[in-house]
Chains A and B, each alone.
Chain A
Amino acid sequence: MFDASALIIALTVFVLAIFIGYEVITKVPPTLHTPLMSGSNAISGIVIVGALLVAGQADGIAGRILGAVAVGLAMINVVGGFMVTDRMLKMFRRSGEGR
């Protein structure tokens, strides 16, 4: 069994997203590259969606434990990533702006 159309749709989404990512991210100035990296750490926490799906469908104990571990790991990225990025971006100010 090989679902070729599903694979093609997924590949289309993948390729287009890479191109959009390339266009958008090349415009990020060097001064924001560290927040970009920590912010994309947070975005790669999107695997939380996958973690929720496998944890939610798990019947056996092994599946449940693996699901919970995946949820925990992904949440570290989501919460930690967004918080630390905000902490950094808060520090960036223009000349003459209040401290």
Chain B
Amino acid sequence: MTTEALFTIDFTNAAYIVAAILFIVGLKQLGSPATARNGNRLSALAMLVAVVATVVGNDIASWEWILGGVIVGSGIGAVSARRVQMTSMPQLVAVFNGFGGAASAVVAAAELIHLMDTNTDIAENVSITIMASVIIGSVTLTGSFIAYGKLQGLVPTRPLLLPIRNVINVGLLITMIASTVWLVADPSITPFLIAAGTALALGILVVLPIGGADMPVVIALLNSYSGIAGAATGFVLGNTILIIAGSLVGASGLILTRIMTKAMNRSLVNVMLGGFGVEDGGGGSGGDDDRPVRSIQADDAATILGYAQSVIFVPGYGLAVAQAQHQVRELADLLKDRGIRVSYAIHPVAGRMPGHMNVLLAEANVPYDELKDLDQINSEFQRTDVAVVIGANDVTNPSARTDKSSPIYGMPILNVDQAQSVIVMKRSMSSGFAGVQNELFFLDKTMMLFGDAKDSVEKITAEVKAL
């Protein structure tokens, strides 16, 4: 990285400014569903501008290899984008994060080889950024693939805790710092490979102890890392558009990480230390499961819903597992035809990644203006006749507001218990991820409808039609 590279006023750097503006405007247009699609196109245009400017402004030798990479990469990208199911979106994003990190690490390797081949005197800041690029990129690569494995069920989702994992992790960190010092003092490929190897191992060891329920946080964080790895590569090459675009992604991932940890009532440190879900529930209300609940059938539920004035659906991941989105939308349409006000309350952790439930409902043709987030909907519950909870649990537990001894105390929840009456669709009385019993189920206003969500909703729809 030289001042010359950054300061040169030429076609390439001018085009990079245009690309940076397009990226920022594109992200700004993601601020509303009405303009988001156009925003995504602007970002794609920005990418095209950046690529064309790079190719035109530099002497690119050996086209065959590059073309090969472009064709294979584009093919894999296009096929996976077309084929992926909306329920598997977290896996796709995890894998893409991993590839992004890997690309940064490989670019750093190629640059180091080039500098050594050409016998360039490597400046300290270049050595350090090369190491930053390969370390962040490699951690992102293996961390993302372990996250993918957990989401896909290939790696056990329960936290895997090595007995002396903290000692090992600290050892790996020291090795990375030592190899960076080595590379700065005496540039060669050996310290680079040592750093890459330790970073790959660290990525695995850091994600393995994290439980499956915490994967949304991990994916958001790795999303951020893939951007920061790109920005680090920008430092290596003295390239502004890499730094800018990488930083935008880094900021985005960090914001989403914070939103998710806040919604789970956890700190990032607490998530990264892992092991959540192995400690025995511990909470105040775990034991008294044999308290009576009010159980109803589909026809009762149909009568209650059919004669209500306002209904809020509260979908959780259980809804997506049962693939009941379309059935719920059908029931909602039917209720709307009867003049009933219908909306959906979406908790930030309702899916397996930030905003996942919204995409699943959008796929089932639910209009986005009916999807309300926590802040928009919580004041509505007390004015609502019926709240229908489908496959959600912990995020509706009123203990989070009131019971200081509960492990989920302080977690932001949907105030479902404030609705006039509540219908909970659930397979059984089992507890949620946090391992605590949901006080909502035992309220006088709550009715439990046991069974498969899809079946139950279909039956209710048929009964409402017959009203």
Instruction: Establish whether residues B113 and A32, one from each chain, have CB atoms under 8 Å apart when the complex forms.
Output: no
Give the distance in Å from the alpha carbon of A86 to the alpha carbon of B104 in the complex.
Answer: 25
Instruction: Establish whether residues B243 and A80, one from each chain, have CB atoms under 8 Å apart when the complex forms.
Output: no
Q: Which B residues are in CB contact (< 8 Å) with A75?
A: 69-70, 72-74, 77
Candidate in A4, A22, A31, A40 with the most chain B CB atoms within 10 angstroms: A40
Instruction: Establish whether residues B246 and A60, one from each chain, have CB atoms under 8 Å apart when the complex forms.
Output: no
Instruction: Establish whether residues B40 and A52, one from each chain, have CB atoms under 8 Å apart when the complex forms.
Output: no
* Cβ-defined partner of A94 (8 Å) among B34, B250, B359: B34
Given known contacts A17-B247, A34-B356, A88-B86, is B66 in contact with A56 (CB within 8 Å)?
Answer: yes
Candidate in B97, B355, B365 with the most chain A CB atoms within 10 angstroms: B355
What is the number of residues of chain B that contact chain A, defined by CB distance less than 8 Å? 122
Contact pattern, A 65-80, Cβ under 8 Å of B = 1, otherwise 0:
1111111111111111
Q: Which A residues are in CB contact (< 8 Å) with B235?
A: 7, 10, 14
Q: Which A residues are in CB contact (< 8 Å) with B104?
A: 47, 50
Given known contacts A66-B109, A68-B66, A76-B99, is B77 in contact with A38 (CB within 8 Å)?
Answer: no
Q: Which B residues are in CB contact (< 8 Å) with A36?
A: 30, 252, 256, 354-355
Give the distance in Å from the alpha carbon of A85 to the alpha carbon of B99 in the complex.
Answer: 17
Instruction: Establish whether residues A5 and B3, one from each chain, have CB atoms under 8 Å apart when the complex forms.
Output: yes
Q: Which A residues are in CB contact (< 8 Å) with B248?
A: 17, 20-21, 24-25, 40, 43
Contact pattern, B 368-392, Cβ under 8 Å of A = 1, otherwise 0:
1111010000000000000000000
Q: Which A residues are in CB contact (< 8 Å) with B31?
A: 24, 27-29
Q: Which A residues are in CB contact (< 8 Å) with B3?
A: 3, 5-6, 9
Q: Which A residues are in CB contact (< 8 Å) with B50?
A: 46, 48-49
Q: Which A residues are in CB contact (< 8 Å) with B178?
A: none
Contact pattern, B 2-19, Cβ under 8 Å of A = 1, otherwise 0:
110111000000000000
Min Cβ gap B105→A in Å is: 9
Q: Which A residues are in CB contact (< 8 Å) with B24?
A: 20, 24
Instruction: Establish whether residues A42 and B240, one from each chain, have CB atoms under 8 Å apart when the complex forms.
Output: no
Instruction: Establish whether residues A81 and B96, one from each chain, have CB atoms under 8 Å apart when the complex forms.
Output: yes
Instruction: Establish whether residues A80 and B113, one from each chain, have CB atoms under 8 Å apart when the complex forms.
Output: no
Of all chain A residues, the one with the shortest Cβ separation from B50 is A49
* Cβ-defined partner of A6 (8 Å) among B6, B69, B92, B367: B6
Given known contacts A13-B244, A71-B69, A71-B73, is B252 in contact with A21 (CB within 8 Å)?
Answer: yes
Which residues of B come within 8 Å of A, CB atoms?
Answer: 1-3, 5-7, 20, 23-24, 27-28, 30-34, 36-37, 39-41, 43-44, 47, 50-51, 54-55, 58-62, 65-66, 68-70, 72-74, 76-78, 80-82, 84, 86, 89, 92-93, 96-97, 99-100, 102-104, 106-107, 109-111, 113-114, 117-118, 121, 123-125, 219-220, 223, 226-227, 229-231, 233-253, 255-256, 259, 346, 348, 351, 353-356, 358-359, 362-363, 365, 367-371, 373
A-B contact pairs, 24 of them (CB 8 A): A9-B7, A14-B247, A17-B251, A21-B251, A24-B31, A26-B255, A27-B28, A29-B31, A33-B353, A34-B89, A43-B23, A47-B104, A47-B246, A49-B51, A49-B239, A50-B107, A50-B111, A55-B62, A57-B59, A68-B68, A80-B76, A80-B92, A82-B44, A86-B41
Which residues of A come within 8 Å of B, CB atoms?
Answer: 1-7, 9-10, 13-14, 17-18, 20-22, 24-60, 62-97, 99
The 6 closest A-B CB pairs, nearest first, are A75-B73, A33-B355, A21-B251, A80-B77, A71-B69, A79-B77
